[in-house]
Amino acid sequence: LAKTTQPISMDSYEGQEVNITCSHNNIATNDYITWYQQFPSQGPRFIIQGYKTKVTNEVASLFIPADRKSSTLSLPRVSLSDTAVYYCLSQGGNFNKFYFGSGTKLNVKP
Amino acid sequence: NAGVTQTPKFQVLKTGQSMTLQCAQDMNHNSMYWYRQDPGMGLRLIYYSASEGTTDKGEVPNGYNVSRLNKREFSLRLESAAPSQTSVYFCASKIGMEDTQYFGPGTRLTVL
C-alpha cells in the first residue's frame, strides 16, 4: 500500500510562499495525490488533487514530477490563517482506503 | 445543505460501556468512512462503506462495528469501550471513486 512521508513541521512568515514536499515512493500507476488541511478541532478539508505535472486552483498549486515518487504543495503568500496541519495522501490502489500519516504542521508567524 | 453531521459532539464513557456514534450526510454520497484521530497524530481509517449495503475494514477495525443504515447514515458502535479508544472520531463521505472526502466536525470521546 502506498504511504507517504512528510516533514513533521515547518515555520514560515506571513507573505512568504511555502512549499511542503511529500514522498510516496511506492505510488501505484492509478493512484492520485491529494492534499488536505486540518485546523484544530475540525475535520480535514480538501485543498488540491493531482495525478501528474502541475495543478493549480484558487488556494494552492501541486507539482508532481514525471516519476511521481514525490509531490510538492505550494501555498502562495501565506497568512496567519494558513497555520494548520497539511496531509498528503495517495490512494494506495483502493479508492476507499486512505492513509493520512502524521501530516506537516505549518506555523505561520507575523 | 448541512453536509456531514455527527452526534454527539462530546461523550464520556466508563470502561465496558457501549455507545453508538451517529453520522449522516445530505449530499447523496455513495461512500462513507469512519476515522479516529489520537492527539498529535494523523487520521486512521476504522471502517468504510463503499456503497449502501456494504461495509469493509480499514486500518484499525478491532473493537468497533459499523452499520450502513441507508444511503445517508453510517453508524459506529463501541460494544465494550476501553481507555485505548479515547480519541476524536471523524465521519467522512464522498460521491465517487476519485472524488475527495467531506468531513464532519468530529466526536470527542473519552473512556475512563
Residue A2 has pLDDT above 60, yes or no: no
Read off the pLDDT band of A38 (50, 70, 90). very high
- With an 8 Å Cβ cutoff, is A40 touching chain B? no
Chain A residues with CB under 8 Å of B33 CB are: 96, 98
Asked if pLDDT for residue A92 goes beyond 70, the answer is no
Write out pLDDT tens, residues B48-80: 999 898 999 998 999 999 999 899 999 999 999
* 3-state SS, one letter per residue, for chain A: CCCCECCCEEEEECCCCEEEEEECCCCCCCCCEEEEEECCCCCCEEEEEECCEEEECCCCEEEECCCCCEEEEEECCCCHHHCEEEEEEECCCCCCCCCCCCCEEEEEEC
Verify whether the Cβ–Cβ distance A43 to B98 is below 8 Å. no
For residue A20, the model assigns a pLDDT of 97
The answer to whether A49 faces chain B, any CB pair under 8 Å, is yes
Q: Which of residues 62-101 of A touch B (CB under 8 A)?
A: 87, 95-101
